[in-house]
Structure 1
């Protein structure tokens, strides 16, 4: 996470037992409050998979005792989506709630569960089959320059007057450090880039970090075609989940992007709730 260390006052924690790491809490400091790291999509308290319920409770006790001792008054922590740690996430959540934590919000996390039959909307499948004859070319690229400069940055600027969370230099640095875990897929028509998707490969889970299209690509349904192509690809590779991230957006009255939610559900995603907890330490 050091690539954006200038943006956050990092206060991440490591929990050890007999000098063995049993849990980590990526977090940053904000005055008298510790917050699940705001530079990460999920954050949360991450434990070893072999911990039992009592050990997880002991980890939570140790973390909260330490935070009290060093002067924090509040802990704001995001629940880890269940498809990342299965039952352990529930045990961590239960242990935190034992401290009379307040649920102050919840994120909607969208993901395809490959253990269930795919449920891509029939209209999207109709367009996908029709567009197979269009001449699309999909490539996995080694660099992000073309997608960032010609698609992602202009699209975000035009549509939302914003920028990607990662600069081109930052995503390139991460790629150089984790070359097998960060992948870029672009789609072209007659040599012109129309859309792209940046994938974070976490082993049995893949996550689309960025997905964007040009105006021409939107007319050709290029991003939709690329998403469905990757959905089939990762299923064939034996992945368990394809996460498409959250749809939370404070600019909407509902707190989330309704249109984006609908699109991801039509691509076959299920909705998972990620609770945000706040615990008083005083």
Structure 2
């Protein structure tokens, strides 16, 4: 085989994190101090991949019931590659991985692609390799983003609401209280969907303390009246609204339009503002209201694909 595989253990943390930092498609979510915040929920089976003695790729992954997954605790995954990693080597990497997985008794591999908007250097070569090697695309989510370099502008109703927001004496707090915000998030999710946020308040605070340059709670107020806001991620050339929630007063006072305009202006050095997915039931159903809300800001859709292949039948 061209490549050799080493299963991640804690003593590889320094090598792993240094590789993420210098890679062409790594993001801060792949640092071990992010991945491991909920490590008790998963059996980690992340991989470090060597070509000779050089570390050339890593794969955030976990194992469950004989299946290797692109890490289920992350929104997206896939290979993290060294600079100038060739397409032919990527093809060989997938083939060598299948040999390794057979040796480990893994019966299926599920691969969660990372959309290009999150990369330093966009590269979809893995999609070609997946197709070439017979992987099944079993799920496709539709997410939305604004291209800040080619911004289409707000739709008419959003422009009206933004102008209205300008008369409402709203203000932004970039160092917002995460506990206050997560209370609102969970109230909204409970009322509308009978569920709660993926992250607990303690986890939000923990991650924000670990990654102060990458994670912010940005809130909107009218004087001292809390209206809502976002828990925002940023890295490479993107900002991403992990949660985007407002209370009734915030909706009445057009706080969402005020906040999105603020993000577009404040982070105009970035390329993409990502809103996340608007599909449900493994991508088979569009949440039309949510999609329309995002499209009103000038957002367009991009696909987030999930693949799988039976390794041992």
TM-score by length of 1: 0.91
Q: SS of the residue aligned with 1:141?
A: coil
Name which of 13, 16, 22 aligns with 2:56: 22
**Aligned twin of 2:303:** 273
Alignment of 1:96-135 (within 5 A): 96-135=130-169
Greater than 3 Å deviation, 4+ residue runs: 85-89
The offset of 1:16, in angstroms, is 2.2
Aligned to 1:242: 273
Aligned to 1:77: 111
Q: Deviations over 1:161-188 (max 9, x none)?
A: 2111111111111111111110111000
Residue number among 187, 190, 194 corresponding to 2:223 in the alignment? 190
Shift of 1:251: 9.7
1:53 aligns with one of 77, 87, 102? 87
Deviation at 1:155, TM superposition (A): 1.6
* Structure 1 unmatched ranges of 5 or more: none
- Does the residue aligned with 1:105 lie in a helix, a strand or coil? strand
Q: Is the 8 A contact 1:23 1:59 kept in 2?
A: no
Matches within 5 A, 1:142-221: 143-149=177-183, 151-221=184-254
- Partner residue in 2 for 1:141: 175
Give 1:88 deviation, angstroms.
5.7
DSSP 3-state at the match of 2:126:
helix
Q: 2:73 is matched with which residue?
A: 39
1:181-227 residue CA offsets vs partner (Å, 9 max, x unmatched): 10111000131111110111113111111111112212222123212
Partner residue of 2:290 out of 260, 266, 269: 260
CA distance in 1, matches of 2:223, 2:239: 29
**1:144: Cα distance to partner?**
0.8
Asked if structure 2 preserves the Cα contact closer than 8 Å seen for 1:143 and 1:172, the reply is: no
Note if contact 1:81-1:109 (Cα within 8 Å) is conserved in structure 2.
Answer: no
| 2:46–2:59 contact (8 Å) kept in structure 1 | yes
Please give the root-mean-square deviation of Cα atoms over the aligned residues, in Å.
2.0
CA distance in 2, matches of 1:179, 1:113: 25
Selected match of 1:226 from 259, 277, 280: 259
